[in-house]
Amino acid sequence: MRFDVVTIFPGMFVPAFQQGVIGRAIERGRVELHAHDLREHTRDRHRQVDDMPFGGGPGMVMKPEPVIEAVESIRASNKGPVIITEPWGEPFHQQLAAELAKESGLIIVCGRYEGIDDRVRTALGAREVSIGDYVLSGGEIPAMVIIDAVARLVPGVVGDPGSLAQDSFSDELTGWPQFTRPAEYRGMTVPEVLLSGDHARIKQWRRQQAAQRRRVSQTKEVRQT
Ligand code: JD8
């Protein structure tokens, strides 16, 4: 699967995807990642990518021409959907990750400043996606989150297929407490059931622990009104 990112900070993507399971997938050619410098698509002497907002207000807005021309030049080699990361976008979920993983590629546009001229979304038929209800300073980290979540669903990226849940709402979102050696550390012991070798009991314990974790986390969940 091929990912193309349009950003004023292409360098952010280099170290992020040199390591771990996605880094290895890129080395092995199962995933391709191209971070394009938006400024390469400007035509003026100052390589300006932003301008003042019509209607007034604070900050700057990303100009439409460089973004649209950047995406048009990428489209020849990437036929996938265009995503713009925006704080007000549709919520990014495991189900959307699974849907996007079926595409041959993705083109992700990263905003900065106060956002992107809205004609970019219109012209490109882009889908606006948000990774969560908190304010970040730009769309690069959200793009990395989306790439990580989607790329690991590409066949062959995560080594052991057994460690990858088949459907999007299965085991991967419902973890149980994990332990490894030593069986006792600073007086803290590993639950006896895990040392018992009784696989039926272990399965039951893990299921019950996962359910309890979900309940506890839910009592802590807050939402904006
Ligand atoms: C893109 C600029 C900065 C600062 C409005 C838009 C996603 N879940 C998320 N939170 N924040 C973003 C995000 C923030 C961005 C941009 C994504 C481009 N900003 C904010 C306050 C004023 N702009 C995001 N996905």
Mean pLDDT of 96-111: 98
Pocket test for ligand 1, best of 50, 60, 120, 137 (most atoms within 8 A of CB): 137
**What DSSP designation does 114 have?**
T
Q: Which of 114, 118, 192, 198 is catalytic?
A: 114
Please tell me the distance between residue 139's alpha carbon and the centre of ligand 1 in angstroms: 6
Q: Which atom of ligand 1 is nearest to the CA of 130?
A: 25
Average pLDDT, whole number, for the chain? 95
- Angle at 27 (CA atoms; ends 18, 150), nearest 5 degrees: 70
Query: Picking from 46-55, 72-81, 108-117, 167-176, which range would have the lowest pLDDT averaged per residue?
Result: 167-176
136: Cα within 13 Å, side-chain hemisphere:
18
Please tell me the distance between residue 111's alpha carbon and the centre of ligand 1 in angstroms: 7
Query: Picking from 123-127, 149-153, 173-177, which range would have the lowest pLDDT averaged per residue?
Result: 173-177
Of 2, 145, 7, nearest to 70 by C-alpha is: 7
Q: Which of 24, 81, 87, 127 is catalytic?
A: 87
pLDDT in tens, 178-212: 999 999 999 999 999 999 999 999 999 999 999 99
148 is written with which tokens? 């990580």
79 is written with which tokens? 């036929």
How many other C-beta atoms are found inside a 10 Å radius of the C-beta of residue 98?
16
Is 4 catalytic? The answer is no
> With bands split at pLDDT 50, 70 and 90, how would you rate the model's confidence at 162?
low
d(CA 154, CA 195): 34
Is 142 catalytic? The answer is no
Is 86 catalytic? The answer is no
Is 160 catalytic? The answer is no
What pLDDT was estimated at residue 168?
A: 44
Name, in order, each residue with C-beta under 8 angstroms of 190's C-beta and a sequence gap of 6 or more. 179, 183, 184
pLDDT in tens, 53-79: 999 999 999 999 999 999 999 999 999
> With bands split at pLDDT 50, 70 and 90, how would you rate the model's confidence at 172?
confident
Largest CA distance in the chain: 71
Strand partners, 34: 4
What pLDDT was estimated at residue 167?
A: 47
Helix (H) or strand (E) holding 140: helix 140-151
d(CA 87, CA 66): 21
Of 158, 57, 188, 36, nearest to 109 by C-alpha is: 36
Backbone angles phi, psi at 32, to 5 degrees: -115, 135
How many other C-beta atoms are found inside a 10 Å radius of the C-beta of residue 194?
17
